[in-house]
Structure formats: C-alpha cells, structure tokens
Structure 1
Amino acid sequence: MSTTSSRRAVVGPALAWSEKLSVQVSGAGTVASGGVVLPRLLADRLGLCAGLAEVMARSGFLPLRHRGQALVDAACSLAAGATCLRDIEAMTAQEEIFGPGAGASDTTMLRVLDELAGRLRADGLPGRRLARATAGARAKAWAGIVARHGQLPAAQVARKDLTRPAAQESARPGPVLVVRLDATLLDAASSKDRAAGTYNR
C-alpha cells in the first residue's frame, strides 16, 4: 500500500480493461464465466464503479485495488453463481478479458467488504453517500432505456404488454412495471398470542 494526501480515487487504469475489448468465436484460447463481462461493463459505463470508489475513498490512503471495481466484481460474480470469496477471484481474475491485475483475492475482498460495512447505517441500509452513488447509476440506466425506447418497457403477459389506462384520452397507455424479488422466509420472534411459525420452522 502507498499513501497520498488526496482523497480523490484513481479510476482511470482500473477501468481501461474494456476500451479495446472484442468478442471472437475463433481462436486457441477460451475464457470462463463470460457472463460476468456484460454487467461489469454496464457498471463501468453507468459510472457505478467510479461512484463507489469515491464513496470508499479515505484521506491519506490510496489502495492498490480499485474499491469500486472490487465491489462490482463481487455483485457480478454473485449474479453468475459465486457462493464464496474465492469464487469472485476465480471469475474475475482473467487477464484475457479484464487485463493485468484483474480479480481481487479473497483476503482483499474481505477487507473491501469490511470497509463497505463502515458506509452502512446502524440499521444495515446504505448511508447517504452510498445510496446517492447507486441511485445515480440507476437513474442513468433508466434514462438510457427511455432515450432508446421512449419509455421503460412494460411487463408482458401472454406476449402482450401489461399497461394501465392513460390519464387522458390522447395519451398513450402507461406501462406496468413489475419488480421481481427473490426472498427466503426466516424465523422471527412474534409477541402475538398463538402466533404460528413459518413454514421452515
């Protein structure tokens, strides 16, 4: 590690991996976990990596591992099926795709997650700066969708867009957005009389 008096995070070299990236179907070498590339590239283009790095920056400390990229690596790897810290390193430590220095080790990732915990509120929700960084990337993504398609796409039912009635007769029907959540029921204490347990108790 080296130190610096600047609080500004260095983001240039860490994000240069995608500048000349191309996909070919021929060649002697193959890469694994190619599905990690697109969400990682999207996070770069939306400014999420840079935004997270700014949130994680500390005065007088310049990490050798880009903190924003490490957090994005973790999220992309989890989406691709990672179940432990070593999986994150294995999925992103491919120099053929991500360039030299790609893939944070499990010990580095553990330190990054520990630093991230310091940016959370007491209730476990993101702090103000962290929430602002993720909200900014999300708003940019939605704006890009609207710029390309005219509006956020509606959910489809029986191959037809699910829409709600327009507010005015001359207006277009509004799309219905569906948020799909994957959750697991957990045991929780209840002060109610005769409260029954959850299904997995």
Structure 2
Amino acid sequence: MKSTRWDHRLGVRADDRNLVGHAGVVLLRRIADKTGLTTALARALPQGTGPGWRDRGEALVMLACAIMLGATNVLEAEQLQHHWRRLFPRPISDSTLRRALEAIDGPVAARVERVRAAIRRVVWTMLALRPGGFPWISVCGRELAGWYVLDLDATIVTCSSRKEGAAGTFKGSYGHHPLGAWVANTRECAAMLLRCGNAAANDVADHKSVLAAALRQLPLPIWSKLLIRIDGAAFSHALLEHLQALTTSRRRVRWVTGWAINTADERAIALLPEQVWTCALRQDGQVHEIKGPDGEWLSYQVAELTGVRDLTGWPEGMRLIVRRVNPRAGMRRS
C-alpha cells in the first residue's frame, strides 16, 4: 500500500530550488517518529476511542515542533500548524492541545519521564555507533573521553501578566525561575523544575530534585564517569556533601561549582605570592582576556588556594581555584 504519512514524499536536495525556512523543524518531527518517541508518548498518555479522537502523543510532538517554530501559546501553535500544512497535514486544535496537557497528572508525568529515558537510551546508542562515536567534551584540546558532563543552572522566564507562579525575581524582573539540567555532550535538556519567580537561586532541595530527575534520564553505563557543573548556587555544605556522596563503586562523580568569597577567602588570597598566578584559559584553550577601558586586552589569572584557605568541615579532597583580573577591567576576584 502507498504510504500516506506526512513524510512519504520528503526529500533533501542541496540546490536553490523549493527552499523552505525553518527546515530544521522537519528533521525534529522526523526524528521523533523514527526513534519511536511519538508512538511511546501515545502509549503513555490517556487515550480514547470516540470518533475524531486525536493521538495525544502526536499532539505533544506537534506542540514541541510549534514551539521550535516560535509559538508561545497553544493558540499560536494551532495557527502555525495551518501554516505548515505539509508538516502537519491534520492540524490539532488549541482546545485539543489543552486537553492533552491537562491529562498529564502525576502518574502520567512519571510514565512520560520513563518514556523519555527509554528513547534517550536508543538515541545515545545510535550516537555511539556513529563513525565519530559519542560526542565527548574537549577542554584545552584534551578530549574527556568517557566523561558525561551535566550542567545545572536556573533561568528567568519573564511574563507581563498574573500567570500562575509568576512573581518578582532576584534580578528585578517579573516571571518564573525554573531550574534545569542539561547534558553538555549532546546539548539536550535532561530535567526541568518549574518554580515561582521568587524561588531561591541556591535552594538545596530544588537542586537535589533536579539532579535526581536528570540522573534518571541519563542512560549511563555500569562503569561510568560523570562531571557535574553548577555555578555559585551550589555554595552550601548540604549540596556539596550530596555531590560528594554520589560516587559509588560503579559510578565515579566529580563536580565543579562556584564559591561565594567571604572575608576568610580574601585573607587567604592576600597570602598568595605573585609568582603563583598564571594566565587563565578558556575551555577551547585560548587565553581568557577582557578588553580594558582604554582598549587594551587584560588577561584573567588563576591560582590554587587549596592549602592556604582552611577547608575544615568541607568535603574531603576539595580544591579551591581562584581567578582575578586587573581592576582596570572593572571586574572582581571570583
């Protein structure tokens, strides 16, 4: 039988004819279908048998594609589907999209989470089978082969209306303050915790929750190496001790976090001799520089503070690296 799927005549040509804007969303929809994500979501979501019933797994995939096209609400998502009729031959109404989202309660969300983890395992297996293998992070020209890198950070989503959970943020804006986790190797979001706008940036419980959700998503091998990176929001005994405890007999965990400088740190930094300072490097291996007020380039410098600063009570084996830049650049030590 002749295929009647949306992609049965899909082709890719390297010429200047029949050009299409936002062509990447076509690949996004295609990948969701080919990896089994669309079908798996349909099985995880509540289904019906009435006339005109729309597949809710397909509805979620369509919504994700519409968001990539720029939709900011379900009404715009419906309108974009009509604009991209070849990609969405059977547009889903905004009311159907709302019902699909409202059907995702606690148990359904847990099933969706398991689906995402299962499909991610399939995709990561495909990545590992590529000629180039799984994408590893490089630091200063050295490839961290075998290391999976997980970044945790909060972001600000501004809004102008009284939406649920919207509040004033610590940056003076108004909106929401979600906390997420991203896999640096593949640049994918592994977990996201929706939070009110006035949520604390360094909430330990929230970081633990997001970290746990992200670890459930990562199809790590039995003998795995994991690097967790968090900014200054991780500066607390409770969270650093939690990170330290993640290492097991089958999983090696290392972490890099920010540090809030206090008076004790300032006194320790003052004791460092000038010759221990060296130029700081970016991740690509280039010298980290900043342009000064007169147009001259000033380089950041780093030094190790371990052994000078008293770290009693902090996790064993922790090292402190400090960075400075010429005050003419208007920066402070970090």
Whether 2:93 is the aligned partner of 1:105: answer: yes
Whether 2:199 is the aligned partner of 1:188: answer: yes
Contact 2:6 2:86 in 1 (8 A): no
Whether 2:34 is the aligned partner of 1:45: answer: yes
Whether 2:116 is the aligned partner of 1:126: answer: no
SS at match of 2:130: helix
1:139-178 to 2 correspondences below 5 Å? 139-149=121-131, 151-157=133-139, 160=141, 162-163=143-144, 173-178=145-150
Bigger proportion of residues as helix:
1
SS at match of 1:152: coil
Give the TM-score taking structure 2 as reference length. Answer: 0.41
CA distance in 1, matches of 2:68, 2:154: 12
- Which of 11, 16, 19 is the equivalent residue of 2:8? 19
CA distance in 1, matches of 2:66, 2:148: 30
Structure 1 residues 112 and 153, CA, compared in 2 at 3 Å: closer, same or farther?
same
> What amino acid is the match of 1:139?
R
> What amino acid is the match of 2:116?
T
> What amino acid is the match of 2:126?
G
Report the count of equivalent residues: 157
CA distance in 2, matches of 1:179, 1:79: 22
CA distance in 1, matches of 2:57, 2:95: 16
Give the TM-score taking structure 1 as reference length. Answer: 0.63
> What amino acid is the match of 1:78?
I
Aligned residues: CA RMSD: 3.1
Greater Cα radius of gyration, structure 1 or 2: 2
**How many percent of aligned residue pairs carry the same amino acid?**
29
Structure 1 residue 32, shift from structure 2 partner: 5.0
1:3-82 to 2 correspondences below 5 Å? 16-24=5-13, 25-27=16-18, 31=20, 33-58=22-47, 60-61=49-50, 64-82=53-71
Bigger proportion of residues as strand:
2
- Give the unaligned 5+ runs of structure 1: 1-11, 164-172, 190-201
